[in-house]
Structure 1
Amino acid sequence: MIVRFIVTLGVALSLTATAPQTARADAGEILGGAVVGGVIGYAIGRDQQKKKQARTTTRTTRTYRQGIPSTTQGAQTQTALNYFGYNAGRVDGQVGRGTRTAIERYQASMGYPVSGYDFQPYQYDFLQQAYYWATSGGQAATQLSGQPLLMEYRRQVQTGSSLAAAPQAPAQAIPVIKPQAAEPETNTAETTTASLPSLFSGGTGGPSLANRCSGVMLQTSTNGGYTTLSNMSDPDFALSEQFCLARSYAMARGEDLMQDIQGLTPDQVAAQCDSYGEMLAPQVDALSISSKTEAETQIRKLALDSGLSPEDLAATSKVCLAMGYRQDNMDAAVGSALMLVAMGEPAYGELVGHHLREGFGVQERRDLAMQWYDSSLSALDAGSQAVFLPSQTDRPQLLRAAMIQAQ
């Protein structure tokens, strides 16, 4: 049962009279906490830091020039650029002159248009995919480093070579916080001794979506940018581009949420999400033989039986969606997207449609994919919040046109 893997743990946050705690509605910021995999609380530390900063601000009368904002994507970019020898400087998430100069060096070496102030998403995505590959076994397999290692990754993507798989790494022991009605301890060992899937192995034994998206991003680079409504000539490729874009956006969002998880290493989060994926695997397997209505009914029953709040399930799913994509674990990724739809976020149905159309993690069923696409786009038309590239206002029109032409 799902409750064996997910347990809600209340998080007691101290309140002060001068700076009252404000409840935040976003998934990574729920006061009650959310749980990844069922045994660890999801504690929030950012509120306390922000309160401290707010108190400091009220005690000073001096005016400071606002600095460059620090972002998770900025830090990831700096980390990858430094790894491949482009020297972005200190990893602080602040994309200043040094980082932009490093971006320009990366763009020049890849043959992209050179402008550190115009770092296109496909350029960022390819850099991150190369970094994940290199740090999860590619560097050890090739014995290369720096820019030659990045060029080797590009060569393997271009030639369709089998990318070096990451070695299997045992998960670290996970501290267990038992609920009031604790399950027998024999079940705990099964969860805590799971091994992490390798980055490019395909978590369910199927083809690698990470490899696929690396190839798509490389073709996007060759094409000079993303497909638009005005230049679309290959609707299938346009849908694949949007699939990989949505995947990258989900990964970035989930990694932001993971910054709020206290007391867990990324490997421990990954192990918990691996268990979450195993739990949702039957629902994922049934996607290829069930209508959208049937699939949602089954996942809602599972959620209801758990006794957990929709907020906790949604928070867990957003973290495990990102981790599933990062580790190429399709049960975790597809199952999390399915759970998010069931929890009232229909825009995530687009991901289920993409998986059914291309056959990643599920059997290919383009007819069923259209049900998920239609429902997701109809929800956006009706005012549902866009969760992928919300600033790209014409994206729903592009998806709908590509859907129609690809049938």
Structure 2
Amino acid sequence: MLSKTLISAAIAAALALVPATRAAADSRDFIAGAIIGGIGGAIINNEVRKNKARQAARQRAVAPRTYATQPRAYRAPAKKTYRPSIPATPEGREIQSSLNYFGFDAGTIDGKVGSRTRDAIADYQRYMGYEGTGTLTSFQQHLLTSAYFRAEAGGNRTFQDIASHPDGTRGLLKIYREDLATGSTSERTLRPEPSAATTEFTDL
């Protein structure tokens, strides 16, 4: 009888202890889960904050800057002005050919009196003692072109005149202007050139 009582008491104690043990185990699992969950949550929150910071940095780098300034007044775009092309003329070709012949660089002989040709005209005018305006007077143009044609047709006389003047080819302009002033143009152009046929040789 005593043994039955002891066995019953042991079984009752065991039964009483089992729920307590389970309850203790469950509470330990809960605490451990809470700790792990708290750590995991903190890590996740930290990553979320980092991702937001990265996205904000990207948006700042890509988004245009905005300045809190007064709005600018609208300005209409400037109208383009087109300069009309310079017409090519035979007279322009004569002027350019004459300038280039006498060493005043007018560029390509295209008949268009543009800025380069005008610079050459101004050089010619200054060389001749005139004001370098870049625009020829009728006399200056006549002197320039007639001197060119005369030099081209002058043959040996042209070479002699070039050799006799310290300015070389340019010097022809001053020689021919002096001839125009003194009226000796015809005399200079009509003077016969010495030829080999008329040269006499004497033996010594």
- The normalised TM-score by structure 1 is 0.24
User: Which protein is bigger by CA-based radius of gyration?
Assistant: 2
- The normalised TM-score by structure 2 is 0.45
